[in-house]
Amino acid sequence: MTNAPIAVNSRQEPAQKGEATRESLVELAQRREGERYALHSKHLNEMWVRVLKTIGWDVGFIRGEGAYLYDRAGARYLDLMSGYGVFAIGRNHPKVRDALIEVLRSQSPNLAQFDVSVLAGVLAERLLARMPWLDKAFFANSGAEAVEAAIKFARYATGRSGIVHCAHSFHGLTYGALSLNGDEIFRKGFGPLLPDTREILFDDLSALEASLRGRDIAAFVVEPIQGKGVNIPKDDYLSGAAELCKKYGTLFVADEIQTGVGRTGKFLAVEHFGVEPDIVVLAKALSGGHAPIGVALTRKWIFDKVFDRMDRSVVHGSTFSKNDMAMAAALATLDVIENEGLIENAAAKGDRLLASLNKMAERYELVSAVRGKGMMIGVEFGPPKSLMLKATWNLLEAASSGLFGQLICIPLFKDHKILTQVAGHGNPTIKLLPSLTLTDEDCAWIERSFDQVIAEAHRAPSAVLSLGKTLAEHAIKARVGG
Ligand SMILES: Cc1ncc(COP(=O)(O)O)c(C=O)c1O
Neighbours of 401 (CB within 10 A): 12
- Predicted confidence at residue 481, as pLDDT, reads 45
Count of positions (residues) in the chain: 482
Nearest CA to ligand 1 atom 3: 171
Residue 384 near residue 366 (C-beta atoms within 8 A): yes
**Nearest ligand 1 atom, CA 223:** 1
**Residue ranges of E strands in 210-257:** 217-222, 251-255
Q: How far is CA 224 from the centre of its chain?
A: 13
Pairwise CA distance, residues 310 & 306, whole Å: 11
φ, ψ at 31 (rounded to 5°)? -65, -35
- Which ligand 1 atom sits nearest the alpha carbon of residue 259? 1
Q: Give residue-wise pLDDT tens across range 12-47.
A: 455 555 566 789 999 999 999 999 999 999 999 999
Query: Distance, CA 171 to ligand 1 centroid (Å)?
Result: 5
Is the per-residue pLDDT at 387 higher than 50? Answer: yes
Burial of 4 (0-12, 13-18, 19+ CB in 10 A): middle
Active-site residue flag, 216: no
Catalytic residue, from 138, 139, 153, 255: name it.
255
What DSSP element (H or E) covers 419? Answer: strand 418-419
In ligand 1, which atom is closest to the CA atom of 283? 10
pLDDT confidence of 402, banded at 50, 70, 90?
Answer: confident
Q: Whose CA is nearest to atom 14 of ligand 1?
A: 482
Q: What is the pLDDT of residue 337?
A: 98
What's the predicted TM-score (pTM) here? Answer: 0.94
The catalytic position among 136, 228, 266, 284 is 284
Cα–Cα distances in angstroms (integers) from residue 257 to residues 150, 283, 285, 465, in the given order: 12, 5, 8, 36
Q: Give the list of residues 6+ apart from residue 259 with CB closer than 8 angstroms, or none.
A: 223, 224, 225, 227, 268, 269, 376
For 466-474, what is the mean pLDDT?
80
CA pseudo-torsion sign 308, 311, 314, 316: negative
Rounded to the nearest 10°, the torsion over CA 100, 104, 109, 112 is 70
CA separation for the pair 334, 260 (Å, rounded): 12
Sequential DSSP letters for 137-189: EEEESSHHHHHHHHHHHHHHHHT--EEEEETT----SSHHHHTT---HHHHTT
| Bond prior to 132 in cis (omega within 30° of 0) | no
Which residue among 81, 86, 139, 170 is best mutated to probe the pocket of ligand 1, counting the most ligand atoms within 8 A of its Cβ? 170
Ligand 1 center to residue 295 CA distance, Å? 12
Query: Collapsing DSSP states into helix, strand and coil, what is residue 338?
Result: helix
Select from 186, 258, 264, 321 the residue to mutate for testing ligand 1; criterion: most ligand atoms less than 8 Å from CB.
258
Q: What digits encode the pLDDT tens for the residues 417-429?
A: 999 999 988 888 9
The residue whose CA is least distant from atom 8 of ligand 1 is 143
- 235 is a catalytic site residue: no
Distance 146 CA to ligand 1 centre (A): 9
CA of 255 to the centre of ligand 1 (A): 9
Give pLDDT tens digits for 244-288: 999 999 999 999 999 999 999 999 999 999 999 999 999 999 999
How far, in Å, from the CA of 257 to the mean position of ligand 1? 6
Query: What amino acid occupies position 64?
Result: G
Contact 173, 479 (CB under 8 A): no
pLDDT value for 19: 60
| Residue with CA closest to ligand 1 atom 2 | 171
In 44-117, where does DSSP find H-type helix? 46-55, 82-85, 94-105
Dihedral angle sign, alpha carbons of residues 421, 426, 427, 428: positive
Beta sheet of 162-166, edge-to-edge order:
136-140, 294-298, 279-282, 251-255, 217-222, 162-166, 197-200
pLDDT band, very low/low/confident/very high, at 470 (cuts 50, 70, 90): confident
Catalytic residue chosen out of the listed positions 153, 170, 202, 252: 170
Residue 294 Cα to ligand 1 middle (Å)? 10
Return the ligand 1 atom nearest residue 147 CA. Answer: 4
Q: What is the DSSP letter of 6?
A: S
DSSP codes of every residue in 279-330:
EEEE-GGGGTTSS--EEEEE-HHHHHHHT-SGGGTTSS--TTTT-HHHHHHH
CA of 256, closest atom in ligand 1:
1
238 vs 392 pLDDT, higher one: 238
Alpha-carbon distances of 225 from 141, 229, 287, rounded to whole Å: 23, 9, 21
Buried b vs exposed e over 39-68: b needs ≥16 C-beta within 10 Å? eebeeeeeeebbbbebbeeebebbbbebbb
User: Is 2's pLDDT higher than 80?
Assistant: no
Nearest to 357 by CA among 266, 446, 461, 227: 446
Pocket of ligand 1 (CB under 6 A): 84, 142-144, 147, 170-172, 223, 227, 255, 257-258, 283, 481-482
From atom 7 of ligand 1, which residue's Cα is the shortest distance away?
A: 143
Distance 20 CA to ligand 1 centre (A): 42
Q: What is the arithmetic mean of pLDDT over 468-482?
A: 63
Of all protein residues, whose CA lies closest to atom 6 belonging to ligand 1? 172
Position 16 scores a pLDDT of 59
Residue 145 CA to residue 174 CA, distance in Å, equals: 8
Tell which atom from ligand 1 comes closest to the C-alpha of 144: 11
Q: What is the pLDDT of residues 300-358, one digit of tens each?
A: 999 999 999 999 999 999 999 999 999 999 999 999 999 999 999 999 999 999 999 99
CA–CA separation, 36 and 1 (whole Å): 22
What tens digit of pLDDT does each residue of 108-138 get?
A: 999 999 999 999 999 999 999 999 999 999 9
5 has a pLDDT exceeding 60: no
Q: Residue 346's pLDDT is what?
A: 98
Mutate which of 86, 142, 171, 179 for ligand 1? The one with the most ligand atoms within 8 Å of its CB, which is 171
Query: What separation in Å is there between the alpha carbon of 393 and the centre of ligand 1?
Result: 31
To which H or E segment does residue 399 belong? helix 387-399
CA of 281 to the centre of ligand 1 (A): 10
Q: What is the pLDDT of residue 424?
A: 85
* 284 classed as catalytic: yes
